Amino acid sequence: MSTVGHRPSPTGRITIGRTTFVRTAQLAAFSAGATAATAIAAAGLLYGQARQARRIIPLAEAPPPRCDGLYGARLPGKPLTMVVLGDSSAAGYGVHRPRETPGALLATGISRRLRRPVRLHRLAVVGARSEGLVPQVEAAVELRPELAVILIGGNDVTARTPVDVAVGHLVDTVRRLRAAGTEVVVGTCPDLGAIKPIQPPLRWLARRWSRQLAAAQTVAVVEAGAWTVSLGDLLGPRFAAEPTRLYSWDRFHPSAEGYAVAAAVLLPAALGALGASTASRTAVAGREKVRTLPQAAHEAVRHAGTEVRGTRVGGHERGPAGRWARLRRRPALSGRSWQTVALRWLLGPSGAGVERETDHPQQPMPTGSQPGLSTTAQDC
């Protein structure tokens, strides 16, 4: 008698034949094996792409130029103290001159718009992850700064730091600074999926991981009383049109013009956090909207250059769906027009050079180094 198919049991219930059961088990085992093989193959592909990206992006050979010093020294008033924390994007890795670093650009822009000197301290460290903010903030609070700008997250993505761990270190840093009376602006994690040496499917995963971290950073930082600006793929679309202008020669870190574009979207938030008048912020004003904080974070990661800060609606910080947040999106500019606007917004109509009294001599580039020399994908 065949054991294939269903058979009635003595109790009247339908039972599965032994052969059918064996074939089902074999099919399940085959499917599990195929899934495991696919997962292993995918992991191997991603590992190979990561190794290829590391080979394409060269190792660091020189530190970024020091930009510490007094900006706008001839202006009246007590200097405003500003600190820059984070990784190599905060330090300005990939440029030669101190005046090309984001810290110098921001200090210059703030000095010119507030008409007062700005003393800049760059505490950012090349290769830092969010956990590396701990010693940086300890040094920062001793300086009692009025403003702190933080750029962090890229290395957490490449190191696959858990989002809650990375965000926890960032929020602790923001809270310590806010408790010390410092205004804080955070440039959230850039979109590593916009980096050309990273190929699909690793690029797609990098984009997803970057956006997840950026959204979590936005929610946590605004809850802690600071401002955020999404950097996202700020340079990505323009890189396709002008790859030699906005990125360094390694195609990973921004060039001097790329940093100018990034600093231009950070400057209005910095001025706003310092309580500058509306007139000081209207050159690249953009449109404002009010959303719940989670909604604002979601929109910000999809639109680079979006500023998010806490706000009140009807006198209340929170509504039924959580804290209220105000978004300000910058106008969509492209190509050289955006670069021109960025430089004029930062340095004034003449685009004049940065005037500062340096605290540190510029460190020479090593023999054999190349313009825009940068570091690895893990140490951004």
For residue 132, give the DSSP letter: G
Query: Would you say 182 and 145 are in contact if contact means Cβ atoms under 8 Å apart?
Result: yes
* Cα gap 356→258, rounded to integer Å: 22
Q: Which is higher by pLDDT, 242 or 297?
A: 297
Q: Which is higher by pLDDT, 227 or 360?
A: 227
Backbone φ/ψ region at 251: left (φ over 0), alpha (ψ -120 to 50), beta? left
Per DSSP, the three-state class of 62 is coil
Please, is 260 exposed, middle or buried when counting C-beta atoms within 10 Å of its C-beta (0-12, 13-18, 19+)?
A: buried
* Cα gap 363→366, rounded to integer Å: 9
Would the pLDDT of 364 be above 70?
A: no
How far is CA 165 from its chain centroid? Answer: 16
Q: Taking residues 221-250, what's their average pLDDT? A: 72
- Output the pLDDT for position 245: 60
Residue with tokens 């909207």: 289
Q: How confident is the model at residue 374 (pLDDT cuts 50, 70, 90)?
A: very low
Query: Would you say 344 and 112 are in contact if contact means Cβ atoms under 8 Å apart?
Result: no
Predicted TM-score (pTM) above 0.85:
no
Q: Taking residues 247-271, what's their average pLDDT? A: 78
For residue 291, give the H/E element and its range: strand 287-292
* Cα gap 221→175, rounded to integer Å: 9
Which tokens belong to 121?
Answer: 């301290």
Inter-helix orientation angle 202-223/18-56, to 10°: 80
Q: Which is higher by pLDDT, 49 or 323?
A: 323
* Cα gap 220→69, rounded to integer Å: 31
Q: How confident is the model at residue 207 (pLDDT cuts 50, 70, 90)?
A: confident
- Output the pLDDT for position 212: 95
> Which residues 6+ apart lie within 8 Å of 249 measured at CB?
370, 371, 372, 373, 374
* Lowest-confidence pick of 121-135, 299-313, 328-342: 328-342
- Which positions are catalytic? 88, 250, 253
Which tokens belong to 247?
Answer: 């990125």
* Lowest-confidence pick of 46-50, 68-72, 171-175: 46-50
Would the pLDDT of 140 be above 70?
A: yes
Q: Which is higher by pLDDT, 21 or 155?
A: 155
Query: Would you say 373 and 96 are in contact if contact means Cβ atoms under 8 Å apart?
Result: no
- Output the pLDDT for position 344: 64
Query: Residue 201, preceding bond cis, omega within 30 degrees?
Result: yes
* Cα gap 289→32, rounded to integer Å: 49
